[in-house]
Chains A and B, each alone.
Chain A
């Protein structure tokens, strides 16, 4: 079956430009997450969508970052006016919702390089 997919796999952009990163979750998964990972480090939570509930945006580092999820499926993370410190791997994950433990399935990530 299809896993979580992300595009593009790599993105190089100039400082000050806007970028859009896309995530296609596993079909039927109602929860979707975005994380940021610096080289060899742990994951930094950015935003969490759960069904029709208001997203948890508590991890977004600045107002240059935003995300949306259309139709409860595909999600787009947008970074406006990119800065060099935004360079990282951006990971998307999805999970089933309901009672119990949320086991997250990750995509391969988008490596963003801001020059």
Chain B
């Protein structure tokens, strides 16, 4: 069973601060995705990382996939109240279960104005 451990589980910060969310596993993933979810809605895909060591930037968000493809991080620079939400990482293993994603338990981010 593949498990993804996300940390921290809760994060409460002031507007303008930086933060990092971590996603770790003992398993290797063929790709890893980050989602953001707001109350009453389904998760929305932010980014997919595929190559070990890959770094992707989306405005103030920076995503990194570990060299061994077992871990990932999400860094937000100068957080804003609009960044508030549940952030989820999800790993795909490929093979016969190609489409099946394993989700982390999520990080609830609250950015105070």
Contacts and interface: CB of A to CB of B under 8 A. Distances in A.
Interface string A38-66: 00111111001010000010000000000
Interface stretch (B36-44, B60-68, B75-83): B36-44
A105 to B, nearest CB: 7
Contact of B98 (A43, A93, A102, A107): A102
B22 interface: no
A108 B40 contact: yes
B42 A4 contact: yes
Interface residues of B, number: 28
Nearest to A9: B40
A109 B37 CA distance: 12
Interface in B22-39: 30-31, 33, 35
B103 A108 contact: no
Interface residues of A, number: 26
A93 B86 CA distance: 17
Contacts of B56: none
Given A43-B103, A107-B42, A109-B42, A102 B92 contact: yes
B99 interface: yes
Given A91-B42, A103-B48, A42 B99 contact: no
Interface string A83-115: 000000001010101000111111111000000
- Ordered nearest first, which 9 A-B pairs have the shortest CB separation? A106-B42, A42-B105, A102-B99, A43-B103, A42-B103, A42-B106, A101-B31, A31-B99, A106-B43
7 contacts: A31-B99, A42-B105, A45-B102, A48-B99, A101-B33, A102-B101, A108-B41
